[in-house]
Amino acid sequence: MPPSDHRRRGVSGAGALLTVDLDAIAANYRQLSGYLGPSTECGAVVKADAYGLGLEPVAGALWTAGCRSFFVALTQEGLRLRELLPDAAIHVLNGVDADTAQEMAAAGLVPVLNHPGQLEAWAGEAQARAATLPAMLQVDTGMNRLGLSAAEVDALAGAPERVVGLALDAVISHLACAEDPDNPLNGEQLARFEAALKILAPLRPRRASLANSSGIFLGAPFHFDLARPGAALYGINPGTSDTSPMSQTIKLQGKILQTRTIDTPSTVGYGATHRAERGQRIATLGVGYADGFLRSLSNSASAFIGGVRVPVVGRVSMDLITIDVTAVPAEATLPGALVDLIGPEHTVDDLAREAGTIGYEVLTALGRRFERRYLGGNAS
């Protein structure tokens, strides 16, 4: 995909500009790959529209950076990605059912089989096609979400005829607390995963996969044959340290629509939750919770203008937020000026802390009304 296909200039009529640095995403991928041994492949999780940053440009940059195995959550995401990357290995984490098996097989998608019903549906599709279909098998090691239970693992190992027609590309599981290296559940899950691999060995899975972004930083025992980073690719801190090892990948800038000087002490915004004093200057930006700037950021978020921190005051509304720009020169707060809501001085993780959430939610909530600009994308 030529870079010009997904680049646009200017903020036009949008209320904010979201700049995505594709080279930074590619650099994060190469950095994560470098933590792995030569026998461990580094894949990439690009579900939820590549964590809200745009599936097509992001996946294209990751492919150019050397990624060949991609993970999505839904069949429709896999079909969309297949149009872009005809030669990629595309895995669907939420699995398959009787309604999606045919189109998944036709598109060469690889489902992650999470329960006996999914295994039956995929094996049935293989039988109908008189073909061998690839699959991954997920075992639950402590999340209690998707994946075969310990009893189901034992039952499957005792009934190998249930995987006839299937080529098990991998057995996988998912870590619950990998961002905290001292959490004892990490070791417990590793032990359960290794036990499941031994039980399932007669089914001859080709490889094993356990590490997500944070799992990569737990070290070689967690790496196995395939790592599946997601959040860290997009600049989210994979650990609990205040300093992230990953490059920041986005900048979100809100456009000032109007600035007013308060001449009489009065309240700002819905619910009158902030009181402005005489002489304060309040700027209104064209960003709100309809754009993913969460309502929980009311009276708690920070923004930056020319390196100066300015607080969000009053409630976040659907299309607007208000910030106190008293400390900023008036010429920097004229209508049309851009305010950094996410950037080098105020990261995705910083904004998430102010919202009482995690960087994942902030990224995936970013609205489609923003003007989007993509930088780079030609990493080799």
Read out DSSP for 248-283? P-EEEEEEEEEEEE-SS-EEESGGG-EEEPTT-EEE
**Does some domain include residue 99?**
yes
Mean pLDDT of 343-371: 95
Distance CA 96, CA 89 (A): 16
Catalytic residue among 51, 251, 270, 374: 270
**Does some domain include residue 3?**
no
Cβ atoms 313, 323 nearer than 8 A: yes
**Does some domain include residue 56?**
yes
Dihedral sign for Cα atoms in the order 49, 52, 54, 60: negative
Is 270 tagged catalytic? yes
Is residue 212 located within the same domain as residue 294? no
Is residue 195 located within the same domain as residue 84? yes
**Does some domain include residue 91?**
yes
Q: What is the pLDDT of residue 6?
A: 35
Q: What is the pLDDT of residue 378?
A: 59
Is residue 286 located within the same domain as residue 334? yes
Across the chain, mean pLDDT equals 94
Q: What is the pLDDT of residue 240?
A: 85
Provide the residue range defining the domain that includes 345. 250-375
The DSSP bridge pattern shows strands 89-92 and 69-72 to be parallel
Distance CA 223, CA 226 (A): 7
Is residue 88 located within the same domain as residue 202? yes
Cβ atoms 323, 302 nearer than 8 A: no
pLDDT confidence bin for 265, thresholds 50/70/90: very high
Q: What is the pLDDT of residue 11?
A: 64
The enclosing domain of 268 has a CATH number of 2.40.37.10
User: Is residue 38's pLDDT more than 90?
Assistant: yes
**Does some domain include residue 239?**
no
Distance CA 217, CA 246 (A): 12
User: Is residue 4's pLDDT more than 60?
Assistant: no
Distance CA 223, CA 315 (A): 44
Is residue 227 located within the same domain as residue 283? no
The DSSP H or E segment spanning 176 is none
Is residue 218 located within the same domain as residue 258? no
- Would you report the helix, strand and coil content of the chain in percent, each value rounded to 5? 35, 25, 40
Distance CA 11, CA 323 (A): 20
Closest CA to 114 of 83, 142, 136, 141: 136
pLDDT tens across 73-126, in order? 999 999 999 999 999 999 999 999 999 999 999 999 999 999 999 999 999 999
pLDDT confidence bin for 9, thresholds 50/70/90: very low
User: Is residue 361's pLDDT more than 50?
Assistant: yes
Q: How far is CA 202 from the centre of its chain?
A: 35
Is residue 212 located within the same domain as residue 271? no
The DSSP bridge pattern shows strands 207-209 and 166-172 to be parallel
Dihedral sign for Cα atoms in the order 305, 314, 250, 175: positive
Q: What is the pLDDT of residue 252?
A: 97
**Does some domain include residue 301?**
yes
pLDDT confidence bin for 167, thresholds 50/70/90: very high
Q: Is 307 left (phi over 0), alpha (psi -120 to 50) or beta?
A: left
Is residue 224 located within the same domain as residue 331? no
The DSSP bridge pattern shows strands 207-209 and 16-21 to be unpaired
Is residue 266 located within the same domain as residue 188? no
Is residue 145 located within the same domain as residue 75? yes
Is 47 tagged catalytic? yes
**Does some domain include residue 244?**
no
Distance CA 203, CA 168 (A): 8
Distance CA 376, CA 60 (A): 11
Please tell me the total count of domains within the chain: 2
pLDDT confidence bin for 243, thresholds 50/70/90: confident
Residue that finishes a domain, picked among 182, 209, 234 = 234
- Percentage of residues of the chain with pLDDT beyond 70: 96
**Exposure class string for 130-146: b at 16+ Cβ within 10 A, else e:** eeebbbbbbbbbbeeeb
Q: Which amino acid is at 310?
A: V
Catalytic residue among 29, 47, 234, 255: 47
Is residue 168 located within the same domain as residue 287? no
Is residue 263 located within the same domain as residue 178? no
Q: CA-CA distances (angstroms) from residue 124 to 62, 98, 154, 168?
A: 34, 9, 21, 15
User: Is residue 10's pLDDT more than 90?
Assistant: no
**Does some domain include residue 245?**
no
pLDDT confidence bin for 241, thresholds 50/70/90: confident
- Percentage of residues of the chain with pLDDT beyond 90: 93
Distance CA 324, CA 261 (A): 10
The enclosing domain of 57 has a CATH number of 3.20.20.10
Distance CA 173, CA 144 (A): 11
**Vertex 69 angle, CA 65 and 74, to 5°:** 120
pTM of the complete model: 0.93
